[in-house]
């Protein structure tokens, strides 16, 4: 009989992130399909009661918690110790967790300590009476998908955020069994003294956005009048992002330009790069502008539902089956009009 443990960490305000609810949805679905299985929840954070209450109506029969100041921050040593303690207390055979950067770092180590196995980048869990529990996961920057089963337990399954619908279970009052974890001093050597991040309005990567807006090198190239128009490009792109809260992606050529001392869009970094050597985000829609749509770029659009592009060149890569709709047009003119219409709304 499998004991499925939903393992989540709380956010700084004590809540559970959407990615944790997605993992819970996957764990609860697996529990439903596995006759005789047990579902329990484990939470790690400074205070876990509010998070447990927020999912009190889920099918988990028991809640375990490792709480305290030492567990408020993302730190390998304390997170791995907390995960190990909860898994032991719950006697978990399958651990389903959100693939946040915090858990991706700590849970493979916890699996090693417990003699188990860990799989990251999982997008689907399934089970059949003949094959047992199986997962689908991605390798090589999401270029290859594998379907696999494992007999080793405990099996840590880290669910890629954005790949599941979040569980909609109601809140209530949950009884949390607190697990004491004694930490050696060495576990607390690393301390987070602050977080450096862009200002809220400069934060352009929004994984939960409905739309991915991609900018290509064309925005900084000489236009019909023989001149570049970088400040105007910045204004149009910023204006569109502010009006739509879209997530900003870029081609490699554009983010690489700063290294070559060329005029660039000030709010872009390599983190915005989409493609083979960049990110492969998940958004329902994507709009590409001034980007040629070459294969190493468009491979990063694998999980974008509906794809549209604006390019002056009717023979660009998007026209060759890479986009659902290609607008052969000047992106400067198109985006100025789009922003005008959005502002009117
Ligand atoms: C091993 C390898 C890995 C790579 N990995 C990646 C990756 O991860 N991501 C990535 O993006 N690239 C990657 N590349 C590079 C990729 O092959 C392309 O060189 C790059 O994507 C081109 O960027 P671009 O389309 O913005 O620029 P360009 O090729 O310069 O295209 C600019 C486009 O803008 C259009 N344009 C210009 N002005 C306007 C206007 N006013 N209105 C509308 N359109 C206009 C032009 O018609 C042109 O099509 C990789 C390459 C290699 C070899």
| Per-residue pLDDT band at 294 (split at 50, 70, 90) | very high
Q: What is the pLDDT of residue 259?
A: 64
Ligand 1 midpoint to CA 295 (Å): 9
Residue 263 has pLDDT above 70, yes or no: no
Q: What is the pLDDT of residue 33?
A: 94
Q: What is the pLDDT of residue 201?
A: 63
| Per-residue pLDDT band at 273 (split at 50, 70, 90) | very high
Distance CA(143)–CA(326), nearest Å, equals 25
Average pLDDT, rounded, for the chain = 93
Q: What is the pLDDT of residue 324?
A: 97
Residue of 215, 252, 262 to test ligand 1 pocket, by largest number of atoms within 8 Å of CB: 252
Q: What is the pLDDT of residues 128-155, one digit of tens each?
A: 888 889 999 988 777 789 999 999 999 9
Ligand 1 midpoint to CA 203 (Å): 23
Q: Average pLDDT of 205-211?
A: 90
Q: Of all residues in the chain, what percent carry a pLDDT higher than 90? A: 82
Q: What is the pLDDT of residue 261?
A: 62
Q: What is the pLDDT of residue 203?
A: 80
Instruction: Evaluate: CB of 254 within 6 angstroms of ligand 1.
Output: yes
Q: What is the pLDDT of residue 127?
A: 93
Residue 216 has pLDDT above 80, yes or no: yes
What does the block give as tokens for 325? 């709709």
Ligand 1 midpoint to CA 309 (Å): 12
| Per-residue pLDDT band at 200 (split at 50, 70, 90) | low
Instruction: Evaluate: CB of 214 within 6 angstroms of ligand 1.
Output: no
* pTM as predicted: 0.73
Q: What is the pLDDT of residue 268?
A: 86
Q: What is the pLDDT of residue 309?
A: 98
Q: What is the pLDDT of residue 345?
A: 87
Distance CA(332)–CA(3), nearest Å, equals 56
| Per-residue pLDDT band at 332 (split at 50, 70, 90) | very high
Q: Average pLDDT of 4-16?
A: 97
Q: What is the pLDDT of residue 131?
A: 81
Most confident of 87-91, 161-165, 253-257: 87-91
Ligand 1 midpoint to CA 253 (Å): 6
Going by CA atoms, what residue is nearest to atom 14 of ligand 1? 296
Instruction: Evaluate: CB of 275 within 6 angstroms of ligand 1.
Output: yes
Instruction: Evaluate: CB of 87 within 6 angstroms of ligand 1.
Output: no
Residue 246 has pLDDT above 80, yes or no: yes
Ligand 1 midpoint to CA 292 (Å): 5
Instruction: Evaluate: CB of 249 within 6 angstroms of ligand 1.
Output: no
| Per-residue pLDDT band at 207 (split at 50, 70, 90) | confident
Q: What is the pLDDT of residues 56-113, one digit of tens each?
A: 999 999 999 999 999 999 999 999 999 999 999 999 999 999 999 999 999 999 999 9
Specify the range with the lowest mean pLDDT, choosing from 120-129, 183-192, 210-219: 183-192
């Amino acid at each position: 009989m499998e004991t499925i443990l939903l393992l989540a960490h709380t956010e700084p305000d004590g809540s559970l992130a959407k990615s944790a609810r997605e993992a819970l949805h996957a764990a609860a679905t697996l529990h439903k399909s596995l006759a005789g299985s047990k579902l329990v929840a484990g939470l790690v954070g400074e205070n876990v009661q509010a998070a447990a209450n927020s999912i009190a109506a889920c099918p988990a029969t028991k809640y375990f918690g490792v709480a305290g100041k030492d567990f408020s921050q993302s730190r390998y040593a304390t997170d791995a110790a907390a995960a190990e303690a909860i898994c032991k207390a719950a006697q978990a055979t399958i651990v389903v967790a959100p693939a946040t950067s915090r858990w991706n770092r700590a849970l493979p180590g916890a699996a090693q300590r417990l003699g188990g196995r860990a799989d990251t980048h999982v997008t689907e869990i399934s089970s059949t009476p003949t094959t047992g529990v199986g997962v689908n996961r991605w390798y090589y920057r999401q270029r290859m998908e594998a379907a696999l089963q494992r007999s080793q337990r405990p099996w840590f399954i880290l669910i890629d955020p954005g790949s599941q619908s979040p569980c909609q279970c109601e809140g209530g009052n949950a009884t949390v069994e607190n697990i004491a974890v004694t930490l050696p001093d060495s576990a607390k050597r690393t301390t987070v003294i602050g977080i450096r991040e862009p200002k809220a309005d400069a934060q352009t990567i929004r994984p939960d956005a409905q739309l991915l807006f991609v900018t290509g090198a064309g925005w900084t190239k000489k236009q019909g009048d023989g001149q570049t128009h970088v400040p105007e490009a910045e204004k149009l792109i910023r204006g569109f992002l502010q009006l739509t809260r879209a997530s900003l992606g870029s081609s490699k050529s554009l983010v690489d330009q700063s290294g070559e001392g060329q005029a660039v869009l000030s709010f872009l970094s390599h983190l915005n790069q989409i493609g083979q050597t960049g990110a492969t985000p998940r958004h329902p829609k994507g709009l590409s502008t001034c980007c040629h749509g070459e294969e190493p770029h468009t491979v990063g659009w694998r999980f974008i539902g509906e794809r549209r592009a604006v390019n002056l060149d009717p023979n660009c890569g998007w026209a060759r089956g890479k986009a659902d709709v290609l607008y052969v047009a000047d992106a400067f003119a198109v985006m100025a009009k789009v922003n005008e219409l959005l502002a009117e709304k």
